[in-house]
Structure 1
Amino acid sequence: MRKFECNETEVRELIDRVVRRTMNIDFTWNWSCGVAYYGISKAWEVTGNQEYIDFLVKWVDEYLELGIPPLMVNSCAMGHTMLTLHEATGDSKYLDLALLKAEYLRKDAIRFGDGVFQHTVSSKNDFPEQAWADTLFMAAYFLLRLGFKLDNKEYIDDALKQFYWHEEYLQDNKTNLFFHAWDNVRQDHLSGIYWGRANAWAAYTMSQAYKMLNPFMPAWMQIGGALGDQLSALVRLQTPQGLWRTVLNDETSYEETSASAGIAAAIVINGHPLHQNAMTKAYEGILANIDEDGSVRNVSAGTAVMYSVDDYKVISKKRVQGWGQGLTLAYLVALLQNKELVSKI
């Protein structure tokens, strides 16, 4: 098996290209922006490019003057950017905003069962007693990051509880893949689809959470086991083009880039030695979907829990989407952060 390597100069150029295209999308304060700007924030971490921070500061400050929209699980994704802006600038207003989102999650977000976040896309009771894989990125991972930043045990424990219950509800013990959602009222997974991007949310956030924990924390084994089993299943579903499908186990569904980038990032972060071929194929496949202007192509539009597998298969993939840009940046950044994979030649 040949060891995977990528060229550092090429990856840095790709990062800058995708960042600059992302800067030219007019987002609102919501999850699409949260994922996209998470990607820009991660890009700053590995490049130190001050232009990226200056752009984020200007955008966020202008939005703060207008007033942010009502809080919900989905828009808590913007909390990731607040953590980076506080780190980069030292301005406490960004940390205060992150804390506002965290306190909403702790005290006001709708929960069910043993304190599980109900996924919400507005200030209303959108999906009664439903857990979505999306929540892991938008809320649980953010709360975990903030908890470690502040050494806040309540935040850390709550975040890890979300990881535990989302795994319990969503990961199929037979296939080790994640369903899109769980309905606690119906006691089922609704349409029961192994949606590609749902598995990307789970794999990417678990790979990041696992790095933050230590072996003396019970969640370390739980998250590590869930992630290892999931990635073992996912590498066997990779297409010959190096990508993953929007319905993972349906060969008639299209290959989807945001899911592929999130899954590939998790594979890189996890670093299993036998996944070198998967890394090589993913690199080729993802790069083939990045245009010269930094647009990430073949990204499915925002997707609710659809009624059938056929409904997932006809979701449009025509437009450039914030989550496609952000997850692709997360993947490219993961490559640079894994020094063993980077060649300077």
Structure 2
Amino acid sequence: MISEAHRGDWGMDIDHWDWVPGVGVISLMEYATVGGQEKVIEYLLQWVNRNKHKADGVKVINALAPFAIFPELYRQTGDPWFLQKAMSTADWMLNTAPVTREGALEHTVTENVDFPEQVWADTVFMAVLFLARMGGLTGESRLADAALRQTLLHLQLLQDPATGLLYHGWNSREGNHMSAVRWARANAWITLAVPQIVMEVQGVADIPEELHSRYSSLAAALRSCQAGNGLWHTVLNRPDYVQETSGSAGIACGFFKGVKNGLLDSSFLDSARLAVSGILPLIAENGQVQGVSGGTPVMPSEEAYNTIEVYPSLYGQGLVMQLLAQELELEDRQL
């Protein structure tokens, strides 16, 4: 993940300030905190110093992902710069970032394209998780409440009441889910983020019961469409479509965290472990994770999701790293 040989590779170059390297550094932080790897913290500090000048280039929701490591870096170092920068970014989210008519954060990206009044599942992991971590760090109820409000609003707008699964996006202007596809990685972003958001804001804000019930419904629906080898198909309700590794890792890691944080019962550990067994053979000898689909906007049709190019990426590497870190931590707790 940190090799300079990846420079210029969109999927694997970590020295940018956007969602792809953002998921990478979030995952490295997860590995560091679970495994007590001080050298990884040192690397992350170096990464921020190398790339922080890029953070102010464009303020968009998708590029907020790297800020999710700032609360822990502040705890580790006491450097007030991390707190000040994170607070100014959180204030931008609350006061300036565009929102839809429902009040949900509009999904904005660094690429030269607009998605006016569109709500994407990705936002919960890329931006709302950071907001929750800031609420937990500072104890400010306004931050915690905003994180919970955005999380619940995204679930309300994206969850299919018939199946419990999530659609990739919602178009507020048109009042529909566009191509109405239940995409695996979209479901993974929220499945993984919600237990962390709840953990961060507990004691600062009251967790709505609706959040618990919606998350339980989502997890049960995901478990019902898990393939026999432990993976999920890129379109969850299409077992004839390709299986996708990053979405599978994110869902399974969310199950581990959901059980750990009391949102799910322990039976979900079996599904998570099954996913681990299915993903391990997809890690090549050089460490690259296979079967990861490329960056995916809301596609025009269900069929289009099955044609996305597959290649190694930092989010694929990172989500698998988070999954394995959770499995190892669970094993350590049971010893």
Both structures adopt the same fold (TM-score exceeding 0.5) = yes
Shift of 1:66: 5.9
1:144 correspondence with 2:132: yes
Q: Residue 93 of structure 2 aligns to a residue in which SS?
A: helix
**The one of 216, 240, 250 aligned to 1:252:** 240
1:161 correspondence with 2:154: no
Pair 1:312–1:41, CA change in 2 (3 A): same
Name the amino acid aligned to 1:201: W
Shift of 1:96: 2.1
Question: How many angstroms apart in 2 are the aligned matches of 1:278 and 1:22?
Answer: 36
Shift of 1:108: 1.2
Matching residue of 2:35: 47
Q: 1:86-114: per-residue Cα shift (whole Å, max 9, x none)?
A: 22222222222222321210111001224
Matching residue of 1:242: 230
Name the amino acid aligned to 1:323: Y
Question: How many angstroms apart in 1 are the aligned matches of 2:201 and 2:302?
Answer: 36
Shift of 1:276: 4.2
Shift of 1:213: 4.8
**The one of 209, 214, 218 aligned to 1:221:** 209
Q: Residue 42 of structure 2 aligns to a residue in which SS?
A: helix
Name the amino acid aligned to 1:333: A
Shift of 1:60: 1.3
Matching residue of 2:87: 99
- In structure 1, runs of 5+ residues without a counterpart are 1-18
Identity %: 32
1:306 correspondence with 2:299: yes
How many residue pairs get aligned? The number is 324
Name the amino acid aligned to 1:286: I
Question: How many angstroms apart in 2 are the aligned matches of 1:283 and 1:342?
Answer: 17
1:191 correspondence with 2:184: no
Question: How many angstroms apart in 1 are the aligned matches of 2:82 and 2:203?
Answer: 32
TM-score, structure 2 normalization: 0.90
TM-score, structure 1 normalization: 0.87
Shift of 1:219: 2.9
Name the amino acid aligned to 2:304: D
Question: How many angstroms apart in 1 are the aligned matches of 2:203 and 2:143?
Answer: 19
Pairwise CA RMSD of aligned residues?
Answer: 2.3
Question: How many angstroms apart in 1 are the aligned matches of 2:94 and 2:115?
Answer: 19
Which shifted more, 28-37 or 269-278? Answer: 269-278
Question: How many angstroms apart in 1 are the aligned matches of 2:79 and 2:206?
Answer: 35
Name the amino acid aligned to 2:306: K
8 Å CA contact retained: 2:17, 2:54: no
Following superposition of structure 1 onto structure 2, how do residues 1-345 of structure 1 map, counting pairs within 5 Å?
25-27=12-14, 28-65=16-53, 68-122=56-110, 126-214=114-202, 218-271=206-259, 272-317=265-310, 319-338=311-330, 342=334
Name the amino acid aligned to 1:322: L
Q: 1:8-33: per-residue Cα shift (whole Å, max 9, x none)?
A: xxxxxxxxxxx666996423100001
Shift of 1:36: 0.7
Q: Residue 286 of structure 2 aligns to a residue in which SS?
A: coil
Q: 1:22-78: per-residue Cα shift (whole Å, max 9, x none)?
A: 996423100001111000001110122222122111121122356642111001111
8 Å CA contact retained: 2:121, 2:158: yes
Greater relative CO (CA pairs within 8 A, separation 6+): 1
Shift of 1:216: 10
Shift of 1:161: 0.9
Pair 1:332–1:49, CA change in 2 (3 A): same
Matching residue of 2:9: none
Pair 1:125–1:289, CA change in 2 (3 A): closer
Which shifted more, 265-274 or 157-166? Answer: 265-274
Question: How many angstroms apart in 1 are the aligned matches of 2:269 and 2:173?
Answer: 42
Q: 1:291-342: per-residue Cα shift (whole Å, max 9, x none)?
A: 222211111100000000111000011x211111221122122223435775
